[in-house]
């Protein structure tokens, strides 16, 4: 209280354990509230590490975010790093969000999401993925696919359960498994096989503790896609061992070379044991809207919803209204963006191979994963030196798991002229090594 003086009768009284304020007597420990000084009893070193949950303390920070904190504030850097479309969200989708605000639609929705959105999702998924889901009970709208991954794992796993996933992979998979108190079991994919996941490798990783197989095709960071025969082999294993498959298909619209996307959920016997995860960030350039969804049998959606309703309650209603517009009218804009990515992919892969950094042609997403081992540098050394000397930002392959070491993730969701300039700088950098 500014300007109010509390009479203290004596310092001696304070040192004995109390301070007197008029008719009130307070412990001496509180004298810092009046004097602005921190009482000595509070000046203790807290062992915060001992207070952090062990499974959280063991999780490393994201290798992507750590690296790009170095880039912040530098206007001279060309970024081939952050996996985000360089296109603004199409105007008609933004307009739907604006109109939602103008109409005063700023309330909570059902925990599952707007029924109108879930109906649009059911229609879209049925047409694009060839899998039918009940809008009322088998679709959950989430705050991005990242939330869907998290709550699906927590809904399915008990401590000590094992989850098989392929690596190199998106940075959140292993930490999300650990946060669910389960055990990550990575299966290495290789450049020689186009970073595809082979059924025999999955079979070798299955144990009595295996509960879930996680898939991500097209893959971040490699752009790899799954062949039908490989998906059929993995599906057979899932059925034989009674496993659940979680499939993150956020890049499914971004397939190139006239190849049609195939979801493992569409294979015989798999709908009943698959959680299909998808969203709006990549295909519709809606990263900031933070909206995804999960499609699965009703008992699994119900279990996921229990976590979602206590942790998130619901996704923002404005984003949900924008998503309806994206699903119903956004395909033409998505196809235009995909065509641009296709051209950039072809150019970037050609230039990297010309430079001497061997690079496979990815079938989807918007990443390439060149092999930089010929330079004699580690992935981190290459990325940091490239940033320091040529102001080009790429992500060290090791950020995507140990099997990513020796590679570099370059994202081509950036302007074509920037990609051209970046590859010239990379060539100059490699030429000096």
Token pair, residue 267, equals 């294979």
Token pair, residue 25, equals 């007597």
DSSP state of 420: H
Query: What pLDDT was estimated at residue 172?
Result: 93
Q: What is the pLDDT of residues 305-362, one digit of tens each?
A: 999 999 999 999 999 999 999 999 999 999 999 999 999 999 999 999 999 999 999 9
Query: What pLDDT was estimated at residue 262?
Result: 97
Contact criterion met (CB below 8 Å) for 365 and 347: no
Query: What pLDDT was estimated at residue 384?
Result: 92
Token pair, residue 137, equals 């009970």
Task: State the sign of the Cα–Cα–Cα–Cα dihedral 334, 340, 344, 347.
Answer: positive
Angstrom distance (rounded) from CA 410 to CA 382:
13
Task: Report if pTM > 0.85.
Answer: yes
Q: What is the pLDDT of residues 249-303, one digit of tens each?
A: 999 999 999 889 999 999 999 999 999 999 999 999 999 999 999 999 999 999 9
Q: Tell me: pLDDT of 39 over 60.
A: no
Q: Tell me: pLDDT of 22 over 70.
A: no
Q: Report which of 321, 320, 322, 316 is spatially closest to residue 108, judged by C-alpha positions.
A: 316
Q: Report which of 122, 178, 187, 185 is spatially closest to residue 150, judged by C-alpha positions.
A: 178
Which residues make Cβ contacts (< 8 Å) with residue 92, sequence separation at least 6? 325, 329, 330, 333
Q: Which domains does the chain have, with CATH numbers?
A: 61-87+332-432 (3.90.1150.10), 91-329 (3.40.640.10)
Task: Over range 371-399, report the average pLDDT.
Answer: 95
Beta strands in 249-374 (DSSP E): 274-279, 292-295, 367-368
Helix-strand-coil split of the chain, %, nearest 5: 45, 15, 40
Query: What pLDDT was estimated at residue 66?
Result: 65
Q: What is the pLDDT of residues 6-18, one digit of tens each?
A: 444 444 444 444 4
């Amino acid at each position: 209280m500014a300007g109010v003086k509390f009479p203290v009768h004596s310092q001696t009284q304070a040192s004995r354990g109390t301070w007197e304020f008029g008719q009130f007597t307070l412990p001496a420990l509180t004298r810092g509230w009046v004097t602005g000084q921190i009482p000595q009893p509070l000046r203790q070193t807290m062992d915060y590490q001992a207070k952090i949950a062990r499974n959280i303390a063991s999780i490393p920070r994201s290798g992507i975010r750590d690296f790009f904190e170095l880039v912040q504030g530098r206007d001279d850097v060309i970024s081939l790093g952050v996996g985000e479309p360089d296109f603004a969200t199409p105007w008609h989708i933004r307009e739907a969000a604006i109109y939602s605000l103008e109409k005063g639609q700023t309330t909570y929705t059902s925990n599952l999401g707007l029924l109108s959105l879930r109906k649009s999702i059911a229609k879209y998924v049925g047409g694009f993925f060839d899998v039918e889901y009940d809008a009322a009970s088998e679709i959950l709208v989430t705050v991005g696919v990242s939330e869907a991954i998290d709550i699906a794992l927590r809904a399915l796993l008990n401590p000590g359960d094992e989850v098989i996933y392929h690596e190199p992979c998106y940075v959140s998979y292993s930490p999300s498994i650990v946060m669910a108190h389960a055990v990550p079991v990575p299966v290495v994919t290789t450049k020689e096989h186009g970073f595809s996941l082979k059924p025999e490798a999955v079979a070798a990783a299955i144990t009595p503790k295996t509960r879930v197989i996680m898939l991500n095709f097209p893959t971040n960071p490699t752009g790899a896609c799954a062949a039908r025969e490989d998906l059929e082999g993995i599906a057979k294993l899932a059925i034989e061992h009674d496993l659940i498959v979680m499939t993150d298909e956020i890049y499914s619209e971004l397939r190139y070379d006239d190849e049609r996307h195939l979801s493992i959920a569409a294979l015989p016997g798999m709908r009943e044991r698959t959680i299909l995860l998808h969203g709006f960030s990549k295909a519709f350039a809606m990263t900031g809207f933070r909206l995804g969804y999960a499609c699965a049998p009703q008992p699994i959606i119900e279990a996921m919803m229990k976590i979602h309703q206590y942790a998130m309650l619901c996704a923002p209603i404005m984003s949900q209204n924008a998503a309806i517009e994206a699903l119903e009218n956004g395909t033409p804009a998505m196809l235009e963006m995909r065509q641009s990515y296709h051209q950039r992919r072809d150019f970037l892969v050609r230039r990297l191979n010309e430079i001497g950094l061997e690079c496979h042609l990815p079938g989807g997403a918007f990443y390439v994963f060149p092999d930089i081992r010929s330079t004699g540098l580690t992935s981190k050394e290459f990325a940091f030196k490239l940033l320091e000397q040529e102001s080009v930002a790429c992500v060290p392959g090791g950020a995507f798991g140990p099997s990513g070491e020796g590679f570099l993730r370059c994202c081509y969701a950036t302007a074509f002229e920037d990609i051209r300039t970046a590859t010239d700088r990379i060539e100059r950098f490699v030429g000096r090594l």
